Amino acid sequence: MLTLRGEEISLEPKVFDVLVYLCANHNHYVSIQELHDNVWEGRIVSDAAVRRSVSKLRSILSLDTEIEQYVKSAHKRGYILDCELSILYEQTPPPIRQSASHLKVGKGNWNRKQYVAILSATLISAVLLSYILWHNADSRPPIFDIAKAPTNIIDYPGEKSHVALSKDETLLAFAGKVVSYQGFQLFVKELSTEAITQLTFDERNVVRVAFSANQEQLVYIDMTPGNSRLKQLAISPVTSSSEPEILVDNFYILSDLSIMPDGTGIVFNGMEDKTQSSQTYFYDYATAKVSELITDFSENAHDYKAELSDDGAYLAVITALNYSQEQRITVYNMENQKIVNRYYHDKHIFEMKWLDDEALLLLDEYSINVIDFGTGKKELVKLNDRKRMRSFDVLRSGDLVTLIQTNAGSLFLEVDSEDFNLSTQNIVAHNDETLEQVLFFGDANDKLYLRKKDDTYRLTVKKHTNQTENEILKTSLELKLFDVARDAREVLIALDGLLALLDVKTNAITYIEPDRQTLLFDGMLSSQTGIVFYGAKTRNGWSIKRYNANTGERKTVAGGFKSVREYSEGFVLITELGEFYTSDPGFNNISPLNQAVPLDSETLWFVRNDRLFWSEFNGKSISFANLDLIDGQKLVSSFDGSQFSTDFDIDPSGQRALLKGRKFPETQVTLLDLAR
């Protein structure tokens, strides 16, 4: 802040930076490139933007036309501060950006008007003192440290279609989905706490999002051909319980939006009717009405992107021209809607952002380019590696937060078991190629993880309370998980094809069926401590065996059945043909349940709290069924077979289910350094 005759004059941060750098280098001319390298620190900005900052500084320091310029320029040499510099300390000063308050600027000729003397003697020192206050406040350590940040700054799986930063860079909004056939929903990440909140659950497809001018709402496009909507959702505070407000309804297509910095309205692109061209419109907050903003459209052109400059003075619009690959970029003066500049690009543009008031960044499928309005030149900035980048937003530093498409990753979801509704999903694990199985572990919502890397299996318990993992078994023998005891003290496993009990506390392994001539299907731990039931096949066919870990006794309890589960009135059994039966606790009275399932090595089934769960795959879709063993009520949920496997688990209460995704597309949110 500059003070002149008791009045405060606001200075932009970069204008302050230029002043301080010119003071520090008052004994020589400073070139445009030197300002690029030291004030903008190599960030991509146009020469015109640098000249604009110098021009603003010059006009502020020369408030009377009779007074000669403080900032002088020389052709091909640069700029110099034409005044005396007084050093207020005796020792060697620290670096200029850390001690700007120790500099005082004054003019050599003191026979001038009073306000110039004040400006040159005391007020410039106040300028530099206020620089310290601003510098300490605005140059706090950035939330994202590019040198140290991980590749992926949002630990959330699935695809993402758009990303936007709040002006203070405390919130990051994105449109994302976990399962490919779900619609994109709206999410917000609080960057200080790493918390991610899903704000919408049943939108059709959120394709664009932006923060309102006051940063208290998110404005977004929910797009479905024939009925696309512009909506607004309160995020102060961030909560998933807010209801969105519909601002614009019944457009055939909406493609992009940009918020007026003064909060008066929204510029957006859309097509009211499929027979019309896509145009640029304005939504007025005061009247809640929509009007055409740009009128120079034609039937053979479609406006599909719009971006306002930070001060709202200019609007850039991208237009797709029919019968041509060319994309037209038109810059309008928002005061009179007159054309300021027009450029052409030979590829479809995914994203467009103002880098400053004189330059635009463009992302196409091959590269990022910058257009400098001062020179009219277009410069390649970065290549779009393997066409994976789809969206970005610009940080204060000039770096980018980008969306990068990656290879598909593994996924485990926790959902409500009643109807397997994916809107209740909780991400358990994702993008971990080593993860083979995940099971519920006890009643505390802990999880049992089985990983395989190279030829080594690792079994760990992940604690829900502190998210730590403790290893309980590591082996090079083939390992598969069957069941977990209700008290989480034992795990039923198949180790190298042999059925065994693993003691979680001691890591001791007790083999249940050591005979390798016996073919095993699966097994279960009884509610009675130390009792195991399992399906085994010998020369006489399949039968259910009972093993007592306390005595070592093995006993056949039911012939002709392949698998068994326990419930309150006895047992549920299944034959080799997949037919379900019920039995009393002693296996004396066995009756058909009139329910069957195609039984193979991929089929899993459970009984929890008198409800029977099983999975089926018919070659096209995956179904998860839920049958109440008491009243006979049945629910079935079906999913695309390319999305989920038949692997699943049910928690001890019977309320939650774990599903295993096959391979899901991933989009990472990453940082891109745009240094020269």
Residue 377 lies in a domain: yes
Residue 69 lies in a domain: yes
Residue 96, pLDDT above cutoff 60: no
**Could you tell me if 59 and 179 lie in one domain?**
no
Q: Is 214 exposed, middle or buried (0-12, 13-18, 19+ CB in 10 A)?
A: exposed
Residue-level pLDDT at 133: 34
**Could you tell me if 263 and 246 lie in one domain?**
no
Q: Which residues contact 522 (CB under 8 A, 6 or more apart)?
A: 482, 534, 535, 563
Residue 89 lies in a domain: yes
Residue-level pLDDT at 289: 95
Residue 121 lies in a domain: yes
Give the pLDDT band of residue 396 (cuts 50, 70, 90): confident
Please state the rounded mean pLDDT for residues 482-498.
91
**What b-and-e string marks burial along 362-374, b requiring 16 or more CB atoms within 10 Å of the CB?**
bbbeebbbbbbbe
Tens digits of residue pLDDT in 306-330: 999 988 999 999 998 876 678 999 9
Q: Which two tokens stand for residue 112?
A: 């001038």
Read off the CATH number of the domain in which 77 is found.
1.10.10.10
Residue-level pLDDT at 130: 35
Tens digits of residue pLDDT in 3-34: 555 566 667 778 888 888 888 787 788 888 88
State pTM to two decimals: 0.58
* Contact (CB, 8 A) for 206 and 183: yes
Give the pLDDT band of residue 473 (cuts 50, 70, 90): very high
Residue type, 236: S
**Could you tell me if 79 and 155 lie in one domain?**
no
Higher per-residue pLDDT: 596 or 284? 284
Read off the CATH number of the domain in which 330 is found.
2.130.10.10
**Could you tell me if 215 and 316 lie in one domain?**
no
SS3 of 160, please?
Answer: strand
**Could you tell me if 194 and 273 lie in one domain?**
no
- Domain boundary (223, 251, 279) is at 251
The structural domain count of the chain equals: 3
**Could you tell me if 70 and 24 lie in one domain?**
yes
Read off the CATH number of the domain in which 177 is found.
2.120.10.30
**Could you tell me if 106 and 190 lie in one domain?**
no
Residue 561 lies in a domain: no
Q: Which residue intervals of 82-233 are DSSP H helices?
A: 114-118, 124-138
CA nearest neighbour of 56 among 84, 20, 18 = 18
**Could you tell me if 82 and 150 lie in one domain?**
no
* Contact (CB, 8 A) for 500 and 515: no
Q: Which residues contact 223 (CB under 8 A, 6 or more apart)?
A: 204, 205, 206, 207, 229, 253, 254, 255
Residue 597, pLDDT above cutoff 50: yes
CA nearest neighbour of 307 among 318, 298, 319, 293 = 318
Q: Which two tokens stand for residue 77?
A: 């040499």
DSSP class of residue 641?
Answer: T
**What angle in degrees, to the nearest 10, is found between the helix axes of 47-61 and 13-24?**
80
CA nearest neighbour of 269 among 232, 310, 297 = 297
- In this structure, the strands spanning 367-372 and 359-364 are antiparallel
CA distance linking residue 31 with residue 52, whole number of Å = 14
Higher per-residue pLDDT: 232 or 348? 232
Tens digits of residue pLDDT in 251-282: 999 999 999 999 999 999 999 988 888 899 99
Output the CA–CA distances (angstroms, integers) from residue 523 to 498, 533, 569, 642, 652, in the order listed.
11, 6, 19, 28, 16
**Could you tell me if 228 and 294 lie in one domain?**
no
Average pLDDT over the chain, rounded to an integer:
80
**Could you tell me if 188 and 152 lie in one domain?**
yes
Residue 485 lies in a domain: no
Residue 627 lies in a domain: no
Output the CA–CA distances (angstroms, integers) from residue 177 to 159, 246, 256, 498, in the order listed.
5, 22, 19, 41
Q: Which two tokens stand for residue 406?
A: 């990656």
Range of the domain at 17: 2-138
In the chain, helix, strand, coil percent, each to 5? Answer: 10, 50, 40
- Domain boundary (363, 387, 411) is at 387
Residue 654, pLDDT above cutoff 60: yes
Calculate ∠ Cα 163-169-171, nearest 5°: 60
- Domain boundary (138, 164, 191) is at 138
**Could you tell me if 156 and 217 lie in one domain?**
yes
* Contact (CB, 8 A) for 522 and 477: no
Residue-level pLDDT at 460: 94
Cis peptide leading into residue 237 (ω within 30°) = yes
Residue-level pLDDT at 602: 66
Residue 376 lies in a domain: yes
**Could you tell me if 71 and 160 lie in one domain?**
no
Handedness of CA 477, 481, 483, 486 (dihedral sign): positive
CA distance linking residue 452 with residue 450, whole number of Å = 7
CA distance linking residue 38 with residue 36, whole number of Å = 6
CA distance linking residue 177 with residue 123, whole number of Å = 55
Question: Tokens 């512009």 map to which residue?
Answer: 230
